[in-house]
Structure formats: C-alpha cells, structure tokens
Amino acid sequence: SAVISQKPSRDICQRGTSLTIQCQVDSQVTMMFWYRQQPGQSLTLIATANQGSEATYESGFVIDKFPISRPNLTFSTLTVSNMSPEDSSIYLCSVSPDSYQPQHFGDGTRLSIL
Amino acid sequence: GENVEQHPSTLSVQEGDSAVIKCTYSDSASNYFPWYKQELGKGPQLIIDIRSNVGEKKDQRIAVTLNKTAKHFSLHITETQPEDSAVYFCAASINRGSTLGRLYFGRGTQLTVWP
C-alpha cells in the first residue's frame, strides 16, 4: 500500500494561532481524507480533499476553520485556524488509490493547544 | 447517517486465548466492513475487511464474520499474542457499484493481551 507521510508529527501551539498539516503520498491517489481523533475517541471525518476543487466538508466542520488544499494527486494540507484548547487532537490523513480500494492512514499529527 | 456500535470498549485476554470484538450497524444498505488496528502513537492500520456478498473471511489468526440479517459483524483473533495489544476499530460504509463510500467508525476496543 501507499506510504503516507504527515508533517509535523506533533506540535504544541498557542491559542489563536493557526497550524498547517501536510500529507504526502508516495504514489498518486484519487481519494484523500482528513480525520480528527480526540484523545481516547473514535475517528471523525472532517472532509474529503478533492483535487482541483474545494473540499467536501462533513456536518460540523467549516472551511473557515479547517481550510484544505489539494494541489495534486500526491499532496494535501489541512490548516487548523484560530486554535483553541478544544482543537487539541490527533489529525489523520487517509488515502485511497481509487474509489474501489480501502483507505489507508498516515500516523497522524498530535496537536496540543495551550 | 450510519451508526456503528462497538463492544466491548476494553478487553483483556491471556496470551494464547481468543478475542472477539462485535459491531452492529444501523443502515441495511451498508455493504463494506473494514477493521483497523491502531497501536500507540500510530495511525490505524487496515487488518481485514469484508464485503456483504460473503459471510466470513479469514487471514491467518484473524477472521471476520458478517450477519446481514442481524446487521452485525465480528472480529475474531485466535492464539492471541502480546503484540496484538492495540485499539481495534470497526467501520461500515455504503458502496454504490464498486465505489467505496465514506467510512463510519465504531468507538474502538482496547485489547490487552497478557503474557
């Protein structure tokens, strides 16, 4: 399966600031997704990153708070804007080579907001 | 949307014993069911999946069973080893044709295997 690299692996940020998380894949993939996993909790889909168009956001998540870019078939970024302690979480990128194949996850970005 | 319930939330077994984790889903249209294993500090790793046209699938010590009528599916791990200790997530999705839909995850099961 594809090798998925997320950067940074962890960060500690001040409230009110923004952080951009990168997801790089070693092969072209059609589908890229961003998830949030709060401590000890399950995975919640934030949005589907669409190449060349706006991301598709799930209920409860908005573009102003979580802007996403997908400039090509191997790279995407998620920005967490105007952070508050409630944004402390693990943010995970997942990919699928095409819409017929299962999703595979990166190791995530562990974000703490002070 | 789909609602996936997962039980138990924690499971402790002795090395060599079997472990079973159960999930139920609400939408009868769901037809793809993957299982993920998440070790500490890592992302979820796909370990096995099943589609609704089969009732059981095995891969060495891991098996998944599906009961479409009852809308539940289970993960079975035999001859457990300490390295099986992790959080396991079930998920469900609705596929249209061959296209995989979005995943709905259960809340996870922390499995601990004692040597």
Whether A102 has its CB under 8 Å from any CB of chain B: the answer is yes
Whether A30 has its CB under 8 Å from any CB of chain B: the answer is no
Residue with tokens 């609400």: B26
∠ Cα A90 A96 A97 (to 5°)? 145
Chain A residues touching B89 at Cβ < 8 A:
42-43
CA distance A111 to A60: 19
Q: Strand B104-105 and strand B86-92: pairing?
A: antiparallel
CA distance B48 to B45: 9
CA distance B33 to A110: 27
Could you tell me if B88 and B103 are in contact, meaning their C-beta atoms sit under 8 angstroms apart?
no
Whether A45 has its CB under 8 Å from any CB of chain B: the answer is yes
Residue-level pLDDT, tens digit, chain B, 115 residues:
789 999 999 999 999 999 999 999 999 989 899 999 999 999 999 999 998 878 999 999 999 999 999 999 999 999 999 999 999 999 999 877 666 678 999 999 999 999 9
